[in-house]
Amino acid sequence: MEHMDAVFKAIDEHQDEFIDLLRESVAIRSVSADPARRGDCIRMSEWTRDQLRNLGAETSLWDLGKQQLSSGEELPLPPAVFGVYGRDKSKKTLLIYGHLDVQPAEKEDGWNTDPFELTEINGKLFGRGSTDDKGPVIAWIAVLKILQRLGIDLPINIKFVLECMEESSSEGLDKGLEDNIDKISDITYSCISDNYWLGRNKPCLTYGLRGICYYFVEISCARQDLHSGINGGSVPEALNDLMWIMSQLVTVDGQILIPGIAELVAPVTKEEDDLYDKIDFCVDTFKNETGSHGLISDSKKDLLMNRWRYPSLSLHGVEGAFSQPGAKTVIPAKVTGKFSLRIVPHMTPEATDKLVTSYLESLWAKRKSPNTFKITSGHGGMPWVADFRDANFSAGSKAIERVYGMTPDFTREGGSIPVTLTIQDLTKSPVMLLPIGASDDMAHSQNEKINRENFVKGMKVLAAYLFELAA
Amino acid sequence: MEHMDAVFKAIDEHQDEFIDLLRESVAIRSVSADPARRGDCIRMSEWTRDQLRNLGAETSLWDLGKQQLSSGEELPLPPAVFGVYGRDKSKKTLLIYGHLDVQPAEKEDGWNTDPFELTEINGKLFGRGSTDDKGPVIAWIAVLKILQRLGIDLPINIKFVLECMEESSSEGLDKGLEDNIDKISDITYSCISDNYWLGRNKPCLTYGLRGICYYFVEISCARQDLHSGINGGSVPEALNDLMWIMSQLVTVDGQILIPGIAELVAPVTKEEDDLYDKIDFCVDTFKNETGSHGLISDSKKDLLMNRWRYPSLSLHGVEGAFSQPGAKTVIPAKVTGKFSLRIVPHMTPEATDKLVTSYLESLWAKRKSPNTFKITSGHGGMPWVADFRDANFSAGSKAIERVYGMTPDFTREGGSIPVTLTIQDLTKSPVMLLPIGASDDMAHSQNEKINRENFVKGMKVLAAYLFELAA
């Protein structure tokens, strides 16, 4: 820890150098969703490999095979970058995950600046990938450069896994990790910087994500669509059955009506409950940002728990019914209602599927409709929760305290970051999510940015985290 | 009536001549929905005008103005054909309505023959417009030709109103009729041949059509779509409110739950009830043809009354929710549910709107949702019902008895033919719907046809009807 002041000073002094490095990476248009940018994605992987190699890391590019486009065309997947920095058997090993690809962006979408030219305005560094996720990746590289220049020995071995398909479902990554399982069998901890603070002012560490179960309820009343003039009044209509079924799933204030779901949910511990009191979160700001007409609760704790650590059920829509503007007098023959549950520990997709199916079947029996009914579930995703008291989170927390002078909030997220579970399962190591960007960074949207301050302090947090973790 | 045998004989002998005339009209691709076929539509109007003129009718083409396409382009509307045949002030005057335009058709859609080349196979004349509605129009022209050739004096004056935009909402016709109101002020009766028998074997006369009221229920929960991971559990969802509202409108067996609707419906008279006993209609055939999994009633009378003379409520769909195949984890911000009621005497759109609005508002109050709610109604259409005991129907019935040797069924239809009400209101004359095609003629679909027998007997019915009406 005695090096920290020198490290922080060097980071401050060289910040523009690392912003230039970020600028260089932003200029590579590594949009993984755009087949025309596949060459840029491959170049982005190679560029990053070169950065790590220049540091003296052992590097390799993992061939992840081909991508099959819906057109039938095949494209090479951009390789994942694997880097090993330090092989001291007496030290622990940290796996750092990040991604090098970005969401699509065009100036015409409503950007104020060229999305692929990092532009600083009032301390904000605008550019696609600035916060998601090139900024954090460059921050890691910067930390290693600084330590090297200062001649400070790395207190921990580092292995990088950096992919370039995250924005396209991480296609190929699972296979890449499994093919190289022997290279990641010695991981002690894993750290992922690919999410954001809960707000704009207070750092956080994220220890939980919800999983998901997605359902399709198909009801059919006839062989083909009917005409409501000619046939209205003669057949029990599928859409009427569906609306009724879907109206029986969740109350207006979000209570899930499926028996047994509540019993699956892990009880809230006292310690966990206490965490929520300290969290920096403003209910009114949240309400304004979503533009919602009402919230299920005005209590900060209830609202956050509803979003993060309790299951929720949302209705998404109907396939097969009339969905265009205007009026059409159709009686749809076959309609498919879609809804999903966000699941939390100790729920599993299997247990949830069973309860949902059995409840829907009992509703259907009660309905006494002559129509046909079928429920199918999509591919389920497990929830993830880490022990926020473990050594990984302690190190993260101490690092943040050192840089920001405040204890971070321990947060969860309501959505999923599937790679978190993949890495935890394959490396059998505890994973921590360590965000460095702020809630208003506009990842995936127009005018994505990272604050210069977040970027610089983020580098310091990452540096301190390495030493705390090794301590 | 003494001429009838001679007329029927001449129709039999000259049937191929009139099938050739139908063939000539089918070959004109008067697809009113296709801007590229507008020239053909105009040609079709002119061709028909020429047919009437050759008979010695006074004819004119009514300029109906321009059609504004959604592209901004303007197209001339095809003119309506007005023909006056006979001006004997001592005789009654019959208005005959028909249309000259057709639905789109391409061989590739699944036609077995060229849709625009009338082709006879096993006594069926296949071709677009053969039954809807060129067949009936040519049948009228044929009847006048035969009477002329036989030197038989027309017992009644005839006025033709033939439009070429019926398949495109009769655009321009209302204005055309209103502009020429003085020319149709002397109409005694009106007759429209633009619907079909209830089955394949027994003729019918149609005395009722349902009207329609269409509703849009808009519920909004947020300014923009939300993500079910990030926000699920925090906001009362608009689609959940909408599904509930829409599930409260009608029971699984079609009972409308809106208070007051049943009280608006005209009671069934004994005479009307008796009509249903005689109607030739097979419940099983209907079930098979719709491919429905169940029917609201197995009783012929209940089923027909539900379709024709009682109101029905159908749910059509949702705008603004996820409607594509696959899975999407959206919480839609604003959704619009669509449903309609088919209305019957003595319901009016105004009275219905009032009951629907008040019921929905009471449901919304009960829901206690913080979301915004708005109900709007589309342009309503009045139901139509004629007195099936009037002189028009008596004449039609006697004509059918003479030709088919059986009393026709007196039927209604569940849908609307708006021109019926327009003509009744503007001419202040009793209207009768006199179909000549069979239920399996496939109007609007592939392989549209009219049976040679229906076409030939249809000409005879129309001829006999003229004399019965004059008697």
Predicted confidence (pLDDT) per residue in B264-298, tens digit: 999 999 999 999 999 999 999 999 988 999 999 99
**Facing residues of B275 across strands?**
none
Tokens of A410: 């321990």
Tally of residues, chain B: 471
Q: Is A348 annotated as a binding residue?
A: no
Question: For residue B2, what pLDDT band results from cuts at 50, 70 and 90?
Answer: confident
What is the least distance, in Å, from the CA of A147 to any CA of chain B? Answer: 37
Mean pLDDT score, A399-418: 95
Report the predicted TM-score, pTM, of the whole model to 2 decimal places: 0.89
Task: Write out the two tokens for B159.
Answer: 């006025």
How many whole angstroms separate alpha carbon B192 and alpha carbon B432? 6
pLDDT of residue B416: 86
Smallest CA–CA distance, residue B336 to chain A, in Å, is 9
Buried b (16+ CB within 10 A) or exposed e, A442-454: bbeeebbbbbbeb
Amino acid letter, B231: N
pLDDT at A16 over 90: yes
Strands A372-377 and A211-220: antiparallel
> CB-based burial of residue B191 (10 Å sphere; 0-12 exposed, 13-18 middle, 19+ buried)?
buried
DSSP secondary structure code for residue A31 in this structure: B
Distance CA A125, CA A395 (A): 28
Per-residue pLDDT reduced to its tens digit, A418-428: 899 999 999 99
User: How many C-beta atoms lie closer than 10 Å to residue B339's C-beta?
Assistant: 23
| pLDDT tens per residue across span B349-391 | 999 999 999 999 999 999 999 999 999 998 889 999 999 999 9
- What is the DSSP code (8-state) at residue B102? B
In whole angstroms, give the CA distance from residue B279 to residue A14. 93
Closest CA to B143 of B158, B131, B133: B158
Q: Is A167 annotated as a binding residue?
A: yes
CATH number of B3-209+383-470: 3.40.630.10
**Yes or no, beta carbons of A293 and B415 under 8 Å apart:** no
Dist. CA B407–CA B401, nearest whole Å: 5
Q: Is the preceding peptide bond at B280 cis, omega within 30 degrees of 0?
A: no
Question: Is the pLDDT score of B117 beyond 90?
Answer: yes
CB B462 within 8 A of CB B8: no
**What CA–CA distance (Å, rounded) separates B227 from A340?**
12
Residue A379 is predicted with a pLDDT of 80
Judging by DSSP bridges, how do beta strands B119-121 and B93-99 pair with one another?
unpaired
CA distance B245 to B247: 5
Cβ atoms A279, A304 nearer than 8 A: yes
B70 band by pLDDT with thresholds 50, 70 and 90: confident
Q: What is the pLDDT of residue A2?
A: 78
In order of A50, A89, A162, A375, A434, the CA distances from A80 in angstroms are 13, 25, 6, 38, 21
Omega of the bond prior to A99 within 30 degrees of 0, cis? no
Peptide bond into B133 cis (omega under 30): yes
Report CA-CA distances (Å) from B218 to A46, B246, B351: 51, 11, 21
> Length of chain A in residues, anyone?
471
- Residue of A221, A216, A338, A238 whose CA lies nearest to B316: A238
Tell me how close the Cα of B14 comes to any Cα of chain A, in angstroms: 36
Q: Say if residue B342 carries a ligand binding annotation.
A: yes
Tell me the C-alpha distance between A351 and A260, whole Å.
Answer: 10
User: How close A318 gets to chain B, by Cα (Å)?
Assistant: 5
| pLDDT tens readout for residues A233-261 | 999 999 999 999 999 999 999 999 999 99
Please check if A99 is assigned to a binding site.
yes
Instruction: Kindly list the distances between the CA atom of residue B262 and the CA atoms of A405, B252, B267, B270, in Å, as whole numbers in the listed order.
Output: 72, 17, 10, 19
Contacts of B392 (CB under 8 A, 6+ apart): B189, B190, B191, B386, B430, B431, B432, B469
User: Is B106 in the active site?
Assistant: no
How far apart CA B129 and CA B124 sit, in angstroms, is 13
Instruction: Scan for tokens 């069934």, then name that residue.
Output: B268
pLDDT tens string B320-343: 999 999 988 999 999 999 999 999
CB contact under 8 A, B323 and A325: no
User: Searching chain B, which residue's CA lies closest to the CA of residue A369?
Assistant: B252
Q: Which residues of chain B lie closer than 8 angstroms to A285, CB-CB?
A: none
Q: What is the arithmetic mean of pLDDT over A54-67? A: 97
A-B Cβ pairs (cutoff 8 Å, strict): 272
The side-by-side arrangement of strands in the sheet containing B124-126 is: B119-121, B124-126, B449-451
Q: What percent of chain A is modeled with pLDDT above 90?
A: 92
What 3-state class would DSSP assign to A156?
coil
The pLDDT score that the predictor gives to residue B289 is: 87
Domain coordinates in residue numbering, chain B: 3-209+383-470, 212-265+310-381
SS3 B117: coil
Given the residues B163, B166, B441, B468, select the one marked as catalytic. B166
- Bond before A227 cis per omega within 30 degrees: no
Q: Nearest residue of B to residue A332 by CA position? A: B316
DSSP state of B86: -
* In the predicted structure, residue A1 carries a pLDDT above the cut 80: no
Orientation angle between helical segments B283-290 and B300-308, nearest 10 degrees: 50
Q: How far apart are the C-alpha atoms of B283 and B292, rounded to whole Å?
A: 12
Say whether A247 and B240 touch across the interface (CB within 8 A): yes
pLDDT of residue B445: 87
Active-site residue, selected from the candidate residues A163, A166, A171, A272? A166
Q: Is A317 left (phi over 0), alpha (psi -120 to 50) or beta?
A: left
Q: Which residue of A has its CA nearest to B343?
A: A229
| Residue that has been written with the tokens 């509540």 in this structure | A262
Q: What is the mean pLDDT of residues A3-25?
A: 97
**CATH of the domain spanning B212-265+310-381, picked from 3.90.1720.10, 1.10.10.60, 3.20.20.150, 3.30.70.360:** 3.30.70.360
Chain segment B245-263, per-residue pLDDT in tens: 999 999 999 999 999 999 9
Is residue A329 part of an annotated ligand binding site?
A: yes
Please indicate whether residue A106 is annotated as part of the active site. no
Question: Band of the pLDDT at A192, cuts 50, 70, 90?
Answer: very high
Residue listed under structure tokens 């508002």: B361
Q: Do B235 and A296 touch (CB under 8 A)?
A: yes
pLDDT at A261: 98
- Amino acid identity, position B147: L
Can you tell me whether residue A133 is helix, strand or coil? coil
